[in-house]
Amino acid sequence: MVFNVDSTVRAQAAQVRLVAFDFDGVFTDNTVYVMEDGREAVRCWRSDGLGLRRLAQLDVATLILSTEVNPVVTARARKLQITCQQGLADKATALTAIVKERHLTFAQVAFVGNDINDRECLQQVGLPIGVRDAHPDILEYLLYRTQALGGRGAVREVCDLLEWAYAGSLIQH
């Protein structure tokens, strides 16, 4: 796959060693099904898992940072075998701690979000990404906006973009 992005996006994507994702509206289409007993269910995109595994093969770490505390987020993260932190009142502080713990710089980090509670994370990282249907108030902070909607292939698109950029950086060196 070839992406129509400028050289800045490609160069930044090739540096990424960690991708942090919001969950609702990124892994999901922002729809929630509420059962009579209060349990919730969401829709996710099946091919995200393969994209995430391919990033892991490139030693690009992935994780979910979510404001919500919801068993469905835990279940999806477990299925995808990625780290998940939930109940975060301040995702930016959590992301800062993770970056320091992993001895990375923010230039080596991408964040994928969709709404105003992602703004601070988007402002911190080297590669701020939003899904196609992201809230208009965060668009000015994005370096890349997916063609796919949240929960409709956006996560896989991000994975493919990073893999493509990484492969291109190997060819250039």
**pLDDT tens digits along 154-164:** 999 999 999 99
Q: Any residues with CB less than 8 A from the CB of 36 and at least 6 apart, and which?
A: none
CA distance 65 to 94: 8
**pLDDT tens digits along 58-94:** 999 999 999 989 999 999 999 999 999 999 999 999 9
CA distance 159 to 53: 9
Total count of residues recorded for the chain:
173
Under 8 Å between Cβ of 112 and 19: yes
Tell whether the model's pLDDT for residue 173 goes beyond 50: no
Percent of the chain's residues with pLDDT above 70: 96
Pick the closest to residue 152 from 118, 114, 126 (CA basis). Answer: 114
Band of the pLDDT at 167, cuts 50, 70, 90?
Answer: confident
Band of the pLDDT at 27, cuts 50, 70, 90?
Answer: very high
CA distance 147 to 161: 11
CA angle 73, 106, 67 (to 5 degrees): 25
Strands (E), the chain: 18-21, 28-34, 40-44, 61-65, 83-85, 109-113, 127-130, 144-145
| Domains, the chain | 7-172 (3.40.50.1000)
